[in-house]
Amino acid sequence: MIPNDFKDSLTAALPIMVGYVFLGVPCGILAQQVGLDALQAFILSMVFYSGAGQFMIPNMWLAASPLTAIIASVTLVNSRQMLYSASLSRFCEGCSKRLSFLFAATVTDESFGVNLAKFDQGSWDVKRATMVNLLSELTWAVSNVIGVLLGSLLNLPTALASFAMTSIFLCLLFSQRATSSNIAAAVVAVLGVFVCKCVGLSGPAIFVGACAGIAAGIVTAWLKGVRA
């Protein structure tokens, strides 16, 4: 008989799991394009577990970006996970350190939103929230494996799979509030990448654009505060 805690977690995680299938398969196809096999893709997905990061690595590698630019760009994009974990830490009082660590290490954009809503309802706990994270992670890893297998069997266009990463960042962008600082950050980041591409700096373009966008957002927020 399935425990009620698991049923609750599965019900909460199901929309995430369905979405991860459609994102994980093209990510696996890209991983196969850069030489990863099914086992390597599974291990990477379980250990690294970053949708945006796992899309960025093969895309930047296929674009001949230097290793330092790939590491810096992925690190910058994934730094937001620390904010998610910090925001959820208040719910971990009374939990063991191992459970708290596992919970924090497996949070993503989607599971953060689902679990936070459940916590706010007052009928949720870290154990069930962690199961939501792990069910989502396992689905992502298996979907990547399926993508690797499909990529090795079918001649699928890499550009089609690559667009999934663009879709992820568009979703992240348009899910933000339309504040002046967010708009400034987005516009300057796009311009930064465009300028780098124009002058032949394709490798660090994403990293430079991201840094420029962050700086623009910070400056805009500061100026707004000064004027207020």
Model pLDDT for residues 5-58, shown as the tens digit of each residue: 888 899 989 988 988 888 888 888 888 888 889 999 999 888 887 777 787 777
Own/partner pairs, 97-102, CB within 8 angstroms, 24+ separation = 99/126, 99/127, 99/130, 100/126, 102/130, 102/133, 102/134
With vertex at residue 144, the alpha carbon angle to CA 141 and CA 148, rounded to the nearest 5 degrees, is 140
pTM (2 d.p.): 0.70
Res. 177: pLDDT tops 80:
no
Model pLDDT for residues 46-68, shown as the tens digit of each residue: 888 777 778 777 777 777 777 78
3: left (phi over 0), alpha (psi -120 to 50) or beta: beta
The residue written with tokens 């990477």 in the block is: 44
Model pLDDT for residues 57-114, shown as the tens digit of each residue: 777 777 777 778 778 777 777 777 777 778 888 888 888 889 888 888 888 878 888 8
